[in-house]
Structure 1
Amino acid sequence: MQYLARSADGRPLVGDEEGFVPLQAAYPDASSVRDVLPRAPGGLRDLDDVPAGRMPRENLSFGPFVGEPGKLFGIGLNYADHAADLSEDPPEEPASFFKPSSAVTGPGGPIRLPPESQSERVTAEAELAVVIGRTCRNVSVDEADEVIAGFAPIIDMTAEDVLERNPRFLTRAKSYDTFLVLGPHLAVPGPGMDLEDVEVRTVVDDAVESRNVVANMHFSPRELVAFHSNVMTLEPGDVVSTGTPGAHPIDPGDRVRAEVDEVGTVAADVVR
């Protein structure tokens, strides 16, 4: 696995299991992670051939893996178990919505809960995100790997009591500042990575509150990319968060973690 990332102070990085180097050491013509996304579907450069020493991951602090994400999609009820938990029927087509870029925060957060006068019940949801690498339109499921840059762990938040008042309040319930924690890196797999057995876990204060595997999604990451490419042009840096195995209420003082096997982990503290 290879990785694209940004340090907490915004420096773009590229790495592997042994560590990270400045992005420009591998791609002299690139000034940001977004510049390299179109190359990711074909694989990144072998860092053994890069004239720079690797910095160990533990010596780095990370920000969101992309500084200026594009369109931010969320997908609702994409696991059968989660739909059952909410006493809802799974949709026959992807139930997608947008989140604003202002909702994005990075590893560590914090996740800032809205005033209690606006919401008294916020839930956190671990998800696997798929990131677009190449501009595309009308791609098939079989072609999706050619436009996917990679995958990332994210934490999505919902003001559930706002949403329960009226389903038309979905945008507001999903859009508070810091309501989307982007993982510390974009994981760029080798060709044809099989995600079926990848497990996604919502963890609050070290307790696993929900878990499920990608094989149990109604619509796979590749299907979600193909479906939305038939609606609109997808562009490098667009993020499709593929749905959660389950949400859990959070309170100030909690620490939330999204764990995605083979892809990575992101955690954030909760404050008000």
Structure 2
Amino acid sequence: MPRLARTTDGTPLLGDEDGFVPLSSADPSLTSVKDALPRAASGALPTPDDAVAQRTSAAELSIAAPLERPGKLWGIGLNYADHAADLDEDRPTEPASFMKPASSVTGPDGPIRLPPTDITDHVTAEAELAVVIGRMCSNLAENEVDDVIAGYLPVIDMTAEDILNRNPRFLTRAKSFDTFLVFGPSLLTTDEVGLLDDLTVRTIRNDEVVAENGVRNMMTPPRELVSFHSKVMTLEPGDVISTGTPGAVHITPDDEVRAEVDGVGSVVADVV
């Protein structure tokens, strides 16, 4: 089944486990990844076998974030009970939502650029599974959600914890620095991901697993999150909901951070 990606020079790609082709070589009407999202949501994407071009392996390509300019970026706090306990906070009874600007996004490999220490000296990184919206929608019932999801990404989300700890109303600022959201290298379509309850999310620093948990243990699972937020505002192609982390880790310069999501993929970034 296909996946979507984009090179650092802006070429949209269509791929599978054997490599990638230019998206337009499979369908000339698709000139960007965003163009392809509604087709991905409806299960009507072409495959690399439909392309006139030959596949190129991912290792031979320089890959950027798959969405050149994402839409609305939702994050979810404390969506795993174990993470709430780690932070000595009560588990919320409904999604603890916040938003991040598109300028916070960077592509695979990063780097994650820490702000000056006089602004923050305690940044944490969190592995998460992200949902990418493929079709405009609002007021969805949960059983309608599969028709609007284009696919899934692994992401690394950052927080300036010392800013947040000064006042919970500083959450937006603590989450919004440049490079504070690292997108994985490709978007996997829903038919390739399989059962979400079988997925495990891991936060890894310098090859050490510091937190992991299963999507089945989320307070609000991904499909419910899409339904819930569609009742807050209209969702559009390219909007992203990052579904929460099993746990965060303090990062410093020269660290390497990885987010792993079984069945979806991984993304790694250096910290500078």
1:101 alignment partner in structure 2: 102
Q: Are 2:27 and 1:61 equivalent residues in the alignment?
A: no
Q: For residues 73 and 218 of structure 1, what CA distance do their matches in structure 2 show?
A: 16
Number of residue pairs the alignment of both structures matches:
271
**Stretch moving more, 248-257 or 40-49:** 40-49
2:189 alignment partner in structure 1: 188
Match of 2:263, SS?
coil
Indicate conservation of the 8 Å contact 1:127/1:155, yes or no: yes
Distance apart, 1:194 and its partner CA: 1.0
Q: Give the unaligned 5+ runs of structure 2.
A: none
Indicate conservation of the 8 Å contact 1:145/1:192, yes or no: no
Letter of the 2:218 counterpart: M
1:161 alignment partner in structure 2: 162
TM-score, normalised to structure 2, is 0.97
Letter of the 2:18 counterpart: E
Indicate conservation of the 8 Å contact 2:145/2:223, yes or no: yes
Identical counterparts, % of pairs:
63
Match of 2:97, SS?
strand
Distance apart, 1:31 and its partner CA: 1.3
1:217 alignment partner in structure 2: 218
1:42 alignment partner in structure 2: 42
Q: After TM superposition, list the pairs within 5 Å mapping 1:51-200 onto structure 2.
A: 51-190=52-191, 193-200=194-201
Q: For residues 94 and 187 of structure 2, what CA distance do their matches in structure 1 show?
A: 27
Distance apart, 1:255 and its partner CA: 0.6
Indicate conservation of the 8 Å contact 1:26/1:47, yes or no: yes
Letter of the 1:32 counterpart: S
Q: Do the aligned partners of residues 140 and 193 (structure 1) sit closer, same or farther apart at CA in structure 2, a change above 3 Å counting?
A: farther
Match of 2:198, SS?
coil
Q: Do the aligned partners of residues 251 and 60 (structure 1) sit closer, same or farther apart at CA in structure 2, a change above 3 Å counting?
A: same
Q: For residues 193 and 22 of structure 1, what CA distance do their matches in structure 2 show?
A: 25
RMSD: 1.1
Q: Are 2:258 and 1:257 equivalent residues in the alignment?
A: yes
Letter of the 2:201 counterpart: V
Structure 1 runs (4+) greater than 6 angstroms displaced? none
Indicate conservation of the 8 Å contact 2:41/2:149, yes or no: yes
Q: Do the aligned partners of residues 154 and 19 (structure 1) sit closer, same or farther apart at CA in structure 2, a change above 3 Å counting?
A: same
Q: Give the unaligned 5+ runs of structure 1.
A: none
2:17 alignment partner in structure 1: 17
Q: For residues 86 and 270 of structure 2, what CA distance do their matches in structure 1 show?
A: 25
